[in-house]
Homo-oligomer: A and B are copies of this chain.
C-alpha cells in the first residue's frame, strides 16, 4: 500500500475501510484482517493499525470479539455514509463552491470533467 505524506497513515488506513464499506465490499459481521496481518500487509507498525482499529471502533464502525478479532458492525454503512455526507455538505462542498467562484470556473466545465471521470472509472473496473 502506498501512503501519501500529507495525512496520517492510520487515517489513510481508516479511509480504506470507509471506501470498502461504502461500496459494500465489506459486509456486516464480516471479519477484517487481524492487527498483525494488516500490519505486515501494509508494511506498517502494528501500533499504527491498532490505532486505526481503535478509531473505527470508537465510531462504531467495527466491533471486537475478545480473542477472535474485529468485525464490521451492522450499522457500518449507515454510520459511514452519514459521516461522509455530513463532511461533504459542511466542508467539502462550500470549499468547492468557493473555489469555483474565485477561479471563475463555469459549472458546465465541471460537468464535462465529471463525465470523463465516470468513463475512466468504468474502464478501470473492467
Q: Which chain A residues have a beta carbon within 8 Å of chain B's beta carbons?
A: 5, 8-9, 18-19, 22-23, 58, 64-66, 81, 84-85, 88, 92-103, 105, 107, 110-111, 113-114, 117-118, 121
Q: Are B99 and A92 in contact (CB under 8 A)?
A: yes
Closest to A100 in B: B114
Q: For the complex of A and B, list the 3 residue pairs with the smallest distance between their C-beta atoms, beginning with the closest.
A: A22-B102, A97-B117, A88-B99
Partner of A88, one of B66, B94, B103: B103
Q: Is the interface of A mostly helix, strand, loop or mixed?
A: helix
B-chain residues with CB within 8 Å of residue A81 when the two chains form the complex = 103
B-chain residues with CB within 8 Å of residue A22 when the two chains form the complex = 102-103
Q: Are A84 and B96 in contact (CB under 8 A)?
A: no
> Assuming the A-B contacts A84-B103, A85-B103, A99-B84, are A64 and B5 also in contact, with contact meaning beta carbons closer than 8 angstroms in the complex?
yes
Expressed in whole angstroms, the Cα–Cα distance for A81 and B110 within the complex equals 17
B-chain residues with CB within 8 Å of residue A88 when the two chains form the complex = 99, 103, 105
